[in-house]
Amino acid sequence: MPDIILATLNAKYQHAALGLRYLRANLGELHPRSLILEFDISQRPLDIAEHLLAHDPKIIGLGLYIWNASQTTEVAALLKTIRPDVVLILGGPEISFEIEAQPIAELADYIVTGEADVEFANLCRQIFAGTRPASKVINAEPPNLTTLALPYDEYSDADLAHRWIYVETSRGCPFKCEFCLSSLRPGIRRFPLEESLAQFQHLLDRGARRFKFVDRSFNIDSDICCPVLDFFLERLTPDLFLHFEMIPDRLPDPVRSRLKKFPKGTLHLEVGIQTFNPDVAARIHRHQKYPEIEDNIRFLRHHTEAAIHADLIIGLPGENLDSIAAGFDRILALEPHEIQVGILKRLRGTTIDRHAAEWGLVFSPLPPYEILQTKLIDFPAMQRLRRFAHFWEVIGNSANFNETLPLLWAPNKSPFTEFLALSDWIYGAEGRRHGIALQRLAQLLFEYLTNVQCHPPNRVAQLLARDYVRPGRRTPPPFLKPYLLESHAPHS
């Protein structure tokens, strides 16, 4: 039976908790006495508590994030009710700030704030030695990345086969965007590159093929970025998949030349634009060069085989509906494969709420603390935008309607405005935004395009049918059949 259990609730099963693996890798002599257990937020807290306590641990460490805060609080309450003698240690970004405001803090025996890679092990040693710290809250200083034990051996064979493998070459960010936790300690710290590459090779040798780099600004330094890209270019396989978060206005020629060499299906690049409004960007200390952003995304889209994922945030201080619409249309014109329309969140510890009074920012008190309204966007309008974001995800980003969707916006019309109208119409027809099946979405899109926008039914049906069967489905939805001429019916 392990004395130490490291656990968290992931958002989905395929996610793997990199933080837990760092903690275990740096336990030193306590490593054999430890175990990692991962759950996801769809599981019942009582079942999670049962599973944790079945191992009869002395210490349980729980990772707390905005996506699991509510469920983890329930798990902690159950653990301390059933086994109050078990030492409960909390860590993670959610509990590292505003500790006194969180009910879960009362349930914890100890809270380790910041990067706990090394400090967690020190705390466990003190507990086992009977010399417990007097303070409940232990502030961990950033560890020395040149001596930190890397966590990649903690991935199991099942992880390699079924989960994303999270890796990093650096921590921190050079920028000071006020909505982001990375802004609290500007600057970048780097792991030894040769050791990291050796660990990546070991992961490849074990069968890992899906790498997700969590570096906040992977391409900030070509001297690091290029050797990593070269490493994977020399080891290309048909099933290799790499995700990087890129600074969108910095893509020098050495990086460009390497990105061009990756085959289709290998690279997924996340480019965080967040806003195209320069006044809003300056207000939140986000400094970016818009002409360079547009040039770089066009290059990525038309001269590489990378899949481009662009980010836009709704609810930033000083941004109104017209500004959001203009930003969305400007991003869409660059033709990224995905546009993630995110709702602003008030992450604990960030300084975004310093704008609350001036710009009327009102955030939900419940995780994930999304913006509810601003001075320029009232609550009903924000709800419309929230529905827009959801329907864009399931219609615009799903790749299920690639041919059909452009029918929504004729030349010289705003795609944002037209899609917002569709979003309003779907919500009016269904009275909900979640749980709408794909066939029903296709039918709603057909009805809107034909009945509201008056497109010819046969033309819409042909496009929808081609979209529907493209991923490998054998036949179009039954509601389309009356409109499909036999000679134009799509083939799987």
CATH 3.80.30.20 describes domain 155-375: yes
Q: What is the pLDDT of residue 488?
A: 53
Q: What is the pLDDT of residue 490?
A: 52
Total Cβ atoms within 10 A of residue 183? 21
Nearest of 87, 92, 132 to residue 108 by alpha carbon: 87
Which residue ranges of the chain lie beneath pLDDT 50? 486-487, 492
Alpha-carbon gap, residue 423 to 378, rounded angstroms: 18
Instruction: Decide if 73 contacts 63 (C-beta within 8 A).
Output: no
Nearest of 99, 73, 75, 70 to residue 5 by alpha carbon: 75
Residue intervals in the chain for CATH 3.40.50.280: 4-139
Residue intervals in the chain for CATH 3.80.30.20: 155-375
Q: Which amino acid is at 93?
A: P
Q: Which amino acid is at 208?
A: A
Each residue of 115-124: pLDDT tens digit?
A: 999 999 999 9
State which fold the 4-139 domain adopts: Rossmann fold (3.40.50)
Alpha-carbon gap, residue 492 to 490, rounded angstroms: 7
Q: What is the pLDDT of residue 491?
A: 52
Structure tokens at 359: 């710009």
Q: What are phi and psi of 399, to 5 degrees?
A: 65, 10
- What is the DSSP pairing of strand 362-363 with strand 371-373? antiparallel
Instruction: Please count the residues of the chain.
Output: 492
Number of separate helices (H) and strands (E) present in the chain: 17, 16
Instruction: Decide if 250 contacts 219 (C-beta within 8 A).
Output: yes
The backbone region for 453, taken as left when phi is positive above 0, alpha when psi lies in -120 to 50, beta otherwise, is alpha
**Please, which residues bridge with residue 296 across strands?**
none
DSSP string, 129-189: HT---S-SEEEPPPP-TTTSPP-GGGS-HHHHHHS-EEE-SEEEES---TTSGGGGS-EEE
Nearest of 61, 54, 167 to residue 124 by alpha carbon: 61
Each residue of 394-452: pLDDT tens digit?
A: 999 999 999 999 999 988 899 999 999 999 999 999 999 999 999 999 999 999 999 99
Q: What is the pLDDT of residue 474?
A: 87
Helix (H, G, I), strand (E, B) or coil at 375: coil
Q: DSSP letter at 354?
A: G
Q: What is the pLDDT of residue 28?
A: 98
Q: What is the dihedral of CA 72, 73, 75, 79, to 10 degrees?
A: 130
Helix (H, G, I), strand (E, B) or coil at 216: coil
Q: What is the pLDDT of residue 182?
A: 87
